[in-house]
Amino acid sequence: MASSSCNISPPIIPIFVFFLLVSSSFCPVRSSETGSLHAKNQTFRPEVELQKLKTIRELLNKINKPPIKSIQAILYCFAPLISPDGDIIDCVLLHHQPAFDHPRLKGQKPLDPPERPSGVNPNGMGGEDFQLWSMSGESCPEGTIPIRRTSEEDMLRASSVRRFGRKRPRRRVRRDSTSNGHEHAVGYVSGDQYYGAKASINVWTPRVSNQYEFSLSQMWVISGSFGDDLNTIEAGWQVSPELYGDNYPRFFTYWTTDAYQATGCYNLLCSGFVQTNNRIAIGAAISPTSSYNGGQFDISLLIWKDPKHGNWWLEFGSGVLVGYWPSFLFTHLRDHASMVQFGGEVVNSRAGGFHTSTEMGSGHFAGQGFGKASYFRNLQVVDWDNNLIPLSNLRVLADHPNCYDIQGGINRVWGNYFYYGGPGRNVKCP
């Protein structure tokens, strides 16, 4: 099984570059114009469009910081596992990143690495080269971080420019029912005080039916009620054509303190998460990915609360720190989490009156098992004394098991684990 330390990067053949650039229109990559908001039957109002473009450019100036170097992978399309995503990665000085626009962080510098939870091996392989952009051989220099550049096309795709980079708010969010078209298959623990969580997450490329749906697999670190005071920290991978303009699975983070209403955002699209790593671009595409009856690839993520300063840190693989969420961003999570969740989520927009065919995980049900169904393995939580410990009361829940389901288990190699996912619309899921 491939793990987060894998580095699969077949060589690029330079002689084909010109040909591939010319023929790039045949690549199976969704155009940024796909699903354009400018439908032919819409009335064109110049003053409205001009104001929208003005707003977009003001936001872009705020989000995109001046780089000292920019990296853009060459577009080619021989093998799906290695096709660069065409992103532009800007190398931005650490103290110029969006987090430091926050009044509480202005003039400061990123904090030093915290004490890791016991049970984490800091000398293991980090596996930083798991993203397509890094296959160019380029990297960002020390003292900078790589940031995926946000484009005008990214914002024009968004259903709401004002809420670009945010999840849609959900009223009365619960885990025992669907919420505004969001469907889940999750494993979770509750009833204790949690100071972090760790898991290895199987990476696939699920089909997403339309631009305004997504499919993701992630960890949630949660506190507060499932009302307007919900605090969450989230990390994993997602396929989101609306946010990224393509169907690649991408490494992402998220946070909110008010149930996704006004606070928080994806990745580095607002002041919040402080990145410290100069080799991982949050929001960039992941490679390789798993294949049905073929090789399996997973990424290991750890989120934990620094016992000294109280900030929530994110680690990739073994010992590769990505950055942290400052504790002052939160209310309930300033202390501890009251629930930890692992699993998949999709948006079901019911286009045409039918359940979506957007896939979760591999697009296959849990019962198909290894190599066919998607999985989470080695699930752990961090206790009050900064120790990683196994889960003692993992429960599993699927909102609509005929569409997406989940099956948990435990063994000596994988510890606590579960298989999950499904195809969405089918005979039993109309």
Residue with tokens 């620094």: 306
**pLDDT per 10-residue tile (average), the chain, 430 residues:** 38 29 34 36 70 90 95 55 68 96 91 90 59 87 96 90 82 47 96 97 97 96 90 98 95 96 95 96 96 97 96 93 97 97 97 95 98 98 97 95 98 97 97
Which of 2, 1, 426, 424 is CA-nearest to residue 213? 424
Strands, DSSP E only, in 257-411?
A: 274-275, 298-305, 312-316, 320-325, 337-347, 374-382, 388-390, 395-398, 405-411
Whether 31 contacts 152, CB under 8 Å: no
Annotation marks residue 345 as catalytic: yes
Instruction: Note the pLDDT of residue 170.
Output: 58
Instruction: Note the pLDDT of residue 159.
Output: 84
Rounded Cα–Cα distance for residues 103 and 97 (Å) = 13
Instruction: Note the pLDDT of residue 46.
Output: 80
Q: What is the pTM of this model?
A: 0.85
State which fold the 183-422 domain adopts. Answer: Jelly Rolls (2.60.120)
Please give the C-alpha separations between residue 305 and each of 118, 174, 266, 309, in angstroms, as whole numbers: 13, 25, 20, 8
| Residue 412 burial (10 A CB sphere; 0-12, 13-18, 19+) | exposed
Catalytic residue among 183, 213, 345, 359: 345
Q: For residue 360, give both structure tokens.
A: 């979760």
Instruction: Note the pLDDT of residue 44.
Output: 63
Whether 235 contacts 219, CB under 8 Å: yes
Annotation marks residue 234 as catalytic: yes
Chain length of the chain: 430
Catalytic residue among 234, 242, 315, 359: 234
Instruction: Note the pLDDT of residue 1.
Output: 46
3-state class (DSSP) for residue 20: helix
Instruction: Note the pLDDT of residue 50.
Output: 85
DSSP class per residue in 376-418? EEEEEEE-TTSBEEE-SS-EEEESSTTTSEEEEEEETTTEEEE
Q: For residue 262, give both structure tokens.
A: 């006004």
